[in-house]
């Protein structure tokens, strides 16, 4: 159960048979949870003590930015080597172009929005589709570009409602009375946004929230391949006695950066993708 399991000393020995036949399953057999206690000095101390008591030489931390920041804090209290493997649908880990699970989440959202597009066209409606992303818009931008969304809204770019209204009205003037607005959940109240779009454009607007389906489902081939490559590199690092690193993908190559660097820097969103999406949607 992640950091909670470490604090509560819930260790389980795994062998090759323990992980047989799981490559096609979503989620995690290790289970996971949020652990407020791990954010306290006492929680960190308990975790370090349990690592020592169980003679853990190396710990592979699978997760995102929050997990890695926890690993960095823990590394200061233990001799156990830490290696981070980026796995988050947010794709916001600095030091890698892509994280495990991101491609799967994109494909899940795209499959749903493709169906929504069918009914949007048939009924000449505009749909605001909310995808995950409280703080970052990597998922929304990739999904929006892939489905040909007329508008993509991300937390990194201040919401300009008037621009959204004008885009939808301009499309309607050209005879395109249906449309898709892909919005990351972090941009604000999407229900209210859908209502305001309807009031200011005259379009018939509906809201659809993709929700937690983005966190599950059978991993895509790309996510499986990335997981295999990252895992191999993580094990190799620990075998060589190298710790406090984060595995990543850069320009098609498996790379590593320091855990501290990954935690201290913010991965930039490629805003050119949003510009491209606007061009393709006109």
Three-state SS for 179?
A: strand
CA distances in angstroms from 155 to 70, 96, 102, listed in the order given: 24, 20, 18
Is residue 175 packed enough to be buried (19+ CB in 10 Å), middle (13-18) or exposed (0-12)? Answer: exposed
- Among residues 90, 114, 118, 189, the one annotated as catalytic is 90
Tell me how crowded residue 32 is: count the other CB atoms within 10 A of its CB. Answer: 15
Q: Which residue has the tokens 């505009």?
A: 126
Task: Compute the radius of gyration of the chain from its Cα atoms.
Answer: 21
Whether the Cβ atoms of residue 144 and residue 270 lie closer than 8 Å to each other: no
Which among 186, 181, 174 has a CA at the least distance from the CA of 196?
181
Q: For this structure, is 103 an active site residue?
A: no
The span from the CA of 30 to the CA of 2, in Å, is 8
Phi, psi of 138 (to 5 degrees): -60, -45
At 246, list the tokens: 């984060």
Tell me how crowded residue 274 is: count the other CB atoms within 10 A of its CB. Answer: 20
Whether the Cβ atoms of residue 95 and residue 248 lie closer than 8 Å to each other: yes
Sheet with 205-209, side-by-side order of all strands: 151-153, 179-184, 126-131, 205-209
Residues noted as catalytic: 90
């Amino acid at each position: 159960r992640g950091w909670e399991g470490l604090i509560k000393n819930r260790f389980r020995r795994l062998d090759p048979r323990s992980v047989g036949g799981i490559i096609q399953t979503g989620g995690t057999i290790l289970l996971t949870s949020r652990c407020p206690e791990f954010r306290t000095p006492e929680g960190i101390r308990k975790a370090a003590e349990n690592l020592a008591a169980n003679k853990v030489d190396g710990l592979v931390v699978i997760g995102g930015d929050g997990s890695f920041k926890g690993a960095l804090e823990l590394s200061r209290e233990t001799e156990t080597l830490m290696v981070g493997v980026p796995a988050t649908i947010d794709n916001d880990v600095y030091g890698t172009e892509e994280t495990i699970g991101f491609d799967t989440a994109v494909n899940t959202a795209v499959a749903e929005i493709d169906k929504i597009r069918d009914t949007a066209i048939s009924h000449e409606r505009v749909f605001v589709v909310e995808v995950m992303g409280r703080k970052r818009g990597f998922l929304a931008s990739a999904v929006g570009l892939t489905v040909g969304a007329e508008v993509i809204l991300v937390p990194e770019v201040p919401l300009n409602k008037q621009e959204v209204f004008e885009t939808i009205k301009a499309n309607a003037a050209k005879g395109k009375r249906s449309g898709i607005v892909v919005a990351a959940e972090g941009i604000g109240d999407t229900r209210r946004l859908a209502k305001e779009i309807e009031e200011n454009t005259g379009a018939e607007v509906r809201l659809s929230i993709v929700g937690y389906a983005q966190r599950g489902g059978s991993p895509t081939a790309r996510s499986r391949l990335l997981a295999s490559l990252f895992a191999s590199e993580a094990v190799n690092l620990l075998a060589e006695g190298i710790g406090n690193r984060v595995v990543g993908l850069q320009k098609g190559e498996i790379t590593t950066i320091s855990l501290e660097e990954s935690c201290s820097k913010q991965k930039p969103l490629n805003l050119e993708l949003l510009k491209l999406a606007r061009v393709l949607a006109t």
